[in-house]
Amino acid sequence: MAATRTGEPRPAPAPNQAMRELRGNLSPREFATLVRRAAREIGEHVSCDARYVGRVEAGEIRCPNYAYQRVFRHMWPEKSLADLGFAPRKTVRRELPHAEPDTGIGTVEPNTGDPGTGAAAHPAPDPAARPLTQPSTDPPTDPPTGPATGPAVPAGLPDLSQQSDEENDDVLRRTFLNGAPAAMATALGAGRSPQPADPPLLAAPQPPPPPERRRVGAAEVRGVEQAVRDIRLLDDVHGADTLFELAGQSLRSAYVLLNDGEYNTETERRLQCGAGELAISVGWLAHDSNRLMDARSFYSEALATARMAQDAGLEAHVFSNIAFLARDAGQAREALRAAQAGQAAAAGLGSDRLRSLLALREASGWARLGDRGACQQALHRAYALFDRGPRDADPEWMSFFGEAELAGQEAQCWSALGEWERASTRAEQAVGLQHPHFVRNRALYIAELAHDRLGRGDLAGAAVQGSEAVALLGQVRSARIRGMLAHTADRLRGHSAVAEVRDFLAGYDDAAAA
């Protein structure tokens, strides 16, 4: 039975002006997205949404729970809780003597000034409210519009370079939400029970009813598989930044099918493989967007899925991406171990091209450890395997791996070893060999070539290549490539007497400010 309160009515809470000012021009939904993203950076899980932001700003939440406190301190390390407009916990407890004790568990919202967590503070809780004990599930920017009855494959790649940001978002939303992923999302949505309202104060919590199981068949599996293809195609052309959030929604829909659906053994196998590949794709988008911790989390999820499914091909793919991520994160030993584990997984798959790529990953690890001899041996093995040619067993996701990628990866090895002439030569070959469709990779190789020419002291050559890469930034949205160009620009700023350097810096600064 819920506790009751007597006495004078509680005065209306004072608005939290500090948090309102920190939100600035962002909408409550956009601000909530930033809070969730900050939580993921430190390993927290909070279900922040526009409703929560509104309650904070209205002063209804006098003191956030410990999880939110950690997130807010991560976002604004120079500010105390008082600076953020919150009251001390002990003060709020004195005002609410019958409040539920705060256990300190990060994902439970204590009833200390937050009227949405107990019957005493909120006599009629919203039955549709999502309790904060649930994992964060970032809502889509807008609900899907249009039919969602089956996997609809886009007729062609949308040309994002010729459209405004608002139009780009609309194209991507249609691609990911109105087609195959929408079919996935709706396959089980109608049968899922609504989240239960928060229990009344002092009442024993009741477990939520199990979701109704819905049949999952070939159409839903094709939807997952098509979502993977769509993400790869768009990433090849445009880079990761615009795709990451929307692709994450497709991944969540796939795991709804896998965890809440009912299917036969063959469907389960394909669904596990599809969900794992989708997790890898989203992890790569996080990596290319410089969200390295997010990428690690998605890859861990994919690796667990691969091992539960006993799928060696999926496992080899995950280890290839983990090795790449570890290299960029400065973890050379981990990159080396992941590459070697990937080669072990791929040994019996019959794909020489896959083994070649994994040998390149190993070479990169040795290069960053400064072991030139081991790096050369791995490079020799990579080229020997590549020269055996393509096979029917080559994975579909390896469409990017050709002579250009081989040369580009070798260039990065020589760059890590400080051998700038060899690095520049191979990077230049990579640029010349790259197929025009792979715009993101072309921009990457040009940015690498600018870096390598700067390494050998060719200021003008580095600036010319940098300008070429900047010209592609309107088409490519990749935080990783922008970071490479920013590093080159920083190193060239002391040499603006060189005409090519001045031109590059002017173009780069304009692009960075846009």
pLDDT > 50? residue 188: no
DSSP element (H, E) containing 422: helix 420-433
pLDDT digits (tens, 9 = 90+) for 360-393: 999 999 999 999 999 999 999 999 999 999 999 9
pLDDT at 391: 93
Number of other residues whose CB lies within 10 A of the CB of residue 124? 7
Of the candidate ranges 109-123, 369-383, 405-419, 464-478, the one whose mean pLDDT is the lowest: 109-123
**C-alpha 374, offset from chain centre:** 33
pLDDT at 437: 74
Q: In sequence order, what DSSP letters do the residues of 347-375 get, joined into one string?
A: TTS--HHHHHHHHHHHHHHHHHTT-HHHH
Band of pLDDT at residue 10, cut at 50, 70 and 90: low
Band of pLDDT at residue 126, cut at 50, 70 and 90: very low
pLDDT digits (tens, 9 = 90+) for 273-294: 888 898 998 888 888 888 888 8
pLDDT digits (tens, 9 = 90+) for 56-101: 998 888 888 877 888 888 899 888 888 999 988 767 655 544 433 3
DSSP element (H, E) containing 215: strand 214-215
- Mean pLDDT across the chain, nearest whole number? 76
DSSP letter (8 states) at residue 262: E
Higher pLDDT: 96 or 482? It is 482
pLDDT > 70? residue 208: no
pLDDT > 70? residue 127: no
Band of pLDDT at residue 251, cut at 50, 70 and 90: confident
Torsion of CA 90, 95, 97, 98, to 10 degrees: -110
Q: What angle do CA 71, 37, 243 make, to 5 degrees?
A: 175
Residue pair 304/279 in contact (Cβ under 8 Å)? The answer is: no
Please tell me whether residue 505 adopts helix, strand or coil conformation: helix
pLDDT at 366: 97
How far apart, in whole angstroms, are the C-alpha atoms of residue 479 and residue 241?
7
Please tell me whether residue 214 adopts helix, strand or coil conformation: strand
pLDDT > 70 fraction of the chain, expressed in percent and rounded: 71
pLDDT at 186: 46
How far apart, in whole angstroms, are the C-alpha atoms of residue 396 and residue 267?
19
pLDDT > 80? residue 48: yes
pLDDT at 218: 79
Mean pLDDT of 204-224: 70
pLDDT at 289: 83
pLDDT at 268: 83
Band of pLDDT at residue 193, cut at 50, 70 and 90: very low
Helices 439-455 + 403-416 axis angle, to 10: 30
pLDDT at 332: 95
20 burial (CB, 10 Å; 0-12 / 13-18 / 19+) is middle
Higher pLDDT: 447 or 13? It is 447
Please tell me whether residue 261 adopts helix, strand or coil conformation: strand
C-alpha closest to that of 342 among 259, 404, 280: 280
Mean pLDDT of 162-166: 40
Token pair listed for 217: 């068949």
Residue pair 276/311 in contact (Cβ under 8 Å)? The answer is: yes
Instruction: Name the amino acid, one letter, at 36.
Output: R
Residue pair 183/151 in contact (Cβ under 8 Å)? The answer is: yes
pLDDT at 291: 85
Please tell me whether residue 307 adopts helix, strand or coil conformation: helix
pLDDT digits (tens, 9 = 90+) for 252-263: 777 777 777 777
Contact residues for 189 (Cβ-Cβ < 8 A; gap 6+): 256
Q: How far is CA 226 from CA 79, 180, 378, 439, in A?
A: 46, 7, 34, 21
Of the candidate ranges 173-177, 240-244, 330-334, the one whose mean pLDDT is the lowest: 173-177
pLDDT at 146: 35
pLDDT > 70? residue 245: no
pLDDT at 40: 80
Of the candidate ranges 241-245, 325-329, 510-514, the one whose mean pLDDT is the lowest: 241-245
Band of pLDDT at residue 424, cut at 50, 70 and 90: very high
How far apart, in whole angstroms, are the C-alpha atoms of residue 161 and residue 6?
63
